[in-house]
Structure 1
Amino acid sequence: MYTVGCRFTMEGACSVMRDIIAARFLLLKKNAVSLIIWLLAPLLITILFLSTVHTVQDDFRVPVGVVLEEETPSTNELYEAMEQSSFVTVSLLSEREAIRQVQQHELDSAFVIKEGYEEQIQEGNRRDLLESYYSDRSFAYNSVKEMIVSIIQQETGRIKAANTVIALERELNGTSNWTEQEIIAKSRQIQAEEDLLNNEFRYMGEAPADESGLIEWNPWMIWAFAAMLFTIFLFDWVIKEQNASVNIRIPFTKVKFSVYMLINLAFYIILLVLVDLITYACFYLLYEEEVSLLTLLSYRMMTCILAFLIVTIVRKAYLSYILAITLTITLVILSGALLPLGALTINSSWIHLINPVSRFLSGEWTIEWLIICIIGMGIWYVREERKYA
């Protein structure tokens, strides 16, 4: 008899759950368009934002033309060094085409690397190596010219140093027998390893900065803030369910109000997790960026429960929207995503604790805030049970 009773109880519970979910689907069908917008908004905003950022960054690069009268290792190295600059966009053109584009203001300026460039570099001669074309609208011409001159000076300095080392080797009757190219390659290796132009400053007692821990400009960072914002927007259904005209029907149903709300919360968590899996696939295909699925799941559960608690406390739709925007902006500032925190980074451990997005951005499970939210749900459940007891 006990087994049969338990079976009927479980069947009844499943029936009630199915009825609640079916009722929720009927409500969502009336607002299907707005629901789809709220669900896909974080993904769409992230893609649009990154596309805009990349376009703006490309627009701020100065278009420069380069003409090679001869192709030698030295001219190719100069061209590659210019290409590596984040300041310019370099195009390899013929001299006639380069002049035409400068005249039509398609290029800021053009530089012709003249024939005999490598021989003059080897001799240490830095005069008459280049010929340039520019117009009255070439606002970045002087800056680009100085950049190219600095690259040439660096190369001639290496060659001069190599010749000096070889001369000293011969004078001292050394046995190393280094060639000029080996010395130049070694100088480049030392420059890359030592990174003499970059210095790191920190306060006494502060640990050295860990580059791997820095928040990078990646799609998951944008998505995390957008997901927090639109999850709170989406959870305005809690306010509607707490409305007196709607809430009055609960005493006449087979399920308690607290259980009814928990089933709906679980429904939205599952729905949002499915959308997050689509987001995961899109980010991997578009940007080759991925995150641990457990990290993503813990963050999604935390945002849903946090949104539920916030909307439950606020009880007014427009106030929840204002609070959502304020909270998101605060989290962006605390995360240092747009502006550096300056001196606050000294005590960044407490910022890491109070910021619910910080764990996710670091690729870790959102454990602390998830536990806090679960405790908050427990308090809410006890209060609701007492209210309807």
Structure 2
Amino acid sequence: MKVILARWLLLKGKRFKLLISMLLPLIVTIVITSIYHYTSDDFRVPVAVVVEEDAEVTSIIEGLKDADYIKLDVYDDINEPLRNLEQYQYDSLFVFDADFNEKLQNNERRNIIESYYTDRSFTYDAVKELIASLVQEEVGQYRLSQQVQTLQEDWLGENNLSFNDIVDTKKEIEEETNLVNQKFNFQGQVMEESPESSLNPLLIYGYAVLIFAFFTFDFVTRETNSETKHRFLYLSVSYKTFMLVSFLSLTILMYGFDIISYFILMDSKTNLLILLTYRLVINAFVFFTAFLSRNILSLYVNALLIFILLLVTQFLLSIIRLPNGLTWLASFHPVEELVSNQHNIYLVALVLIIFFIWLRRDNLVRS
């Protein structure tokens, strides 16, 4: 208890800075994710679609909305979107007229959709091809429905299946047996989930924790390279023991901020224990870096190099698949393990071994 009190007294004048550095990872994550979600639509191409009365194009509209590069607006009249297109507010405009479905049923292939674009339209061809593929899928559903109904009449002498019933059954079968979406793996091979397209708050929070941990533990560099360290030669408590207690005290305090961040930022799939383990690993890594740094400038330079190194290696891990025998190497990347929601056993064991050697060496010297 006296050691913790001594640490608190030595941090006089720096306590507010410590609290801010512990709170900043949460603030930075909230700000960056908010900006990302607010500006994500600005990078999508505005496209307008006019659906006239009696045109059933729900599946086509949903397919266009699922496209990452399209910001879709749907109208029931052509006047307003056409005027906006002339003012370059839209990249292109597509019109599904009232007899669109009738044309599909009659197997018509020409002039079934009206399209408009300007001299500044640069994604018109891509959107047109996407609509063509969605229309072709709709045509296939009509043909399938007609064939099923014809077979039912020929063999059973009745026709009690509607178009929607046949399409719904087709979609259920596709979801259950579609080999394109099935995941295969060899026995014993671990399947890796593909990362989501949206920004993962864990990724931002993980790197923010790393960066601001250096500002939290910079006092270790100052005290290790000052006269403070030599005062412990005359005390019953060694300097390393004092620093170890300081490390554990600050880590426990940071756990409180991590738990708050967990309930604010994370979803139910994220494991709180993994987040707390990540904090322990990062704090230990930063603590020893600060202990070995000769001055504050070298500490911050090391922090920048470590940040860049982890960022580059994580990018490489995302585009390069490691051989089966070397997949364990990814376990030594703390942020990658955090984002993957994996328990970082290797790094925890490494931290414990380093602490043991660090303290044991001090005891051997004193003896």
TM superposition score normalised by structure 1: 0.81
| Distance change (3 Å), C-alpha of 1:167 and 1:369 | same
Structure 2 counterpart of 1:151: 134
Of 17, 22, 25, 1:42 maps to 25
Change (3 A) 1:150 1:209: farther
Structure 2: where are the runs of 5+ without partners?
A: none
**Structural RMSD (CA):** 3.1
Q: Which of 216, 221, 242 lines up with 1:260 in the alignment?
A: 242
Change in CA separation of 1:227 and 1:90 when aligned onto 2, cut-off 3 Å: same
**Matches of 1:201 and 1:323, distance apart in 2:** 42
What is the letter of the counterpart of residue 290 of structure 2? V
Structure 1 counterpart of 2:281: 302
TM-aligned CA distance change 1:214 to 1:114, over 3 Å: closer
Task: State the shift of 1:184 in Å.
Answer: 2.5
Could you tell me the percent identity over the aligned residues? 29
Q: Indicate if the aligned counterparts of 1:20 and 1:263 stay in contact, CA closer than 8 A.
A: no
Secondary structure (helix, strand or coil) at the match of 2:57 reads helix
CA distance in 1, matches of 2:11, 2:224: 18
Deviation at 1:71, TM superposition (A): 4.1
Worse-matched range after superposition: 297-306 or 165-174: 165-174
Return the alpha-carbon distance in structure 2 between the equivalents of residues 347 and 125 of structure 1.
55
What CA distance in whole angstroms lies between the structure 2 residues aligned with 1:270 and 1:245? 27
Q: Deviations over 1:265-317 (max 9, x none)?
A: 12211221122123223214xxx466333222222222222222222233343
2:91 is the alignment partner of 1:108: yes
> Structure 2 residue aligned with 1:325, among 304, 325, 328?
304
Q: Give the secondary-structure state (helix, strand or coil) at the position aligned to 1:46.
A: helix
Q: Does 1:340 align with 2:349?
A: no
Counterpart secondary structure, 1:344: coil
Q: Which amino acid in 2 is paired with 1:210?
A: M
Q: In structure 2, give the amino acid aligned to 1:262.
A: L
Find out whether 1:141 has 2:141 as its counterpart.
no
Residue 5 of structure 2 aligns with an amino acid whose one-letter code is D
Return 176-185 or 116-125, whichever deviates more.
Answer: 176-185
1:197-346 to structure 2, matched below 5 A, reads: 197=180, 210=191, 213-216=193-196, 217-253=199-235, 255-284=237-266, 288=267, 291-336=270-315, 340-346=318-324
- Residue segments in structure 1 that go unaligned for 5+ positions in a row: 1-13
Residue 157 of structure 1 and its aligned partner are, at CA, apart by 1.8
- Report how many residues are paired: 364
Distance in 2, matches of 1:43 and 1:318, equals 26
Whether 2:37 is the aligned partner of 1:26: answer no
Measured in 2, the distance between the counterparts of 1:56 and 1:345 equals 38
Q: Equivalents in 2 of 1:184, 1:208: separation in Å? A: 37
Aligned mates of 2:284, 2:223 — CA distance in 1: 16
SS at match of 2:73: strand
SS, match of residue 108 in structure 2: coil
Q: Deviations over 1:310-351 (max 9, x none)?
A: 222333433333333333333344445x76342425445321
Cα distance change, pair 141–279 in 1 and its aligned pair in 2 (3 A): same
Match 1:132 to one of 77, 92, 115: 115
- Take 1:347 and 1:43, find their aligned partners in 2: how far apart are those partners? 37
Provide the C-alpha distance between the structure 1 equivalents of 2:292 and 2:270, rounded to a whole number of angstroms. Answer: 32
Change (3 A) 1:305 1:77: closer
Cα distance, 1:224–1:198 mapped onto 2, change above 3 Å: same
Alpha-carbon contact 1:283-1:289 (below 8 Å) kept: no
* Residue type of the alignment partner of 1:234: T
> Is 1:165 matched up with 2:148?
yes
Q: Deviations over 1:196-237 (max 9, x none)?
A: 5568798xx6866635x4454521122223322332343221
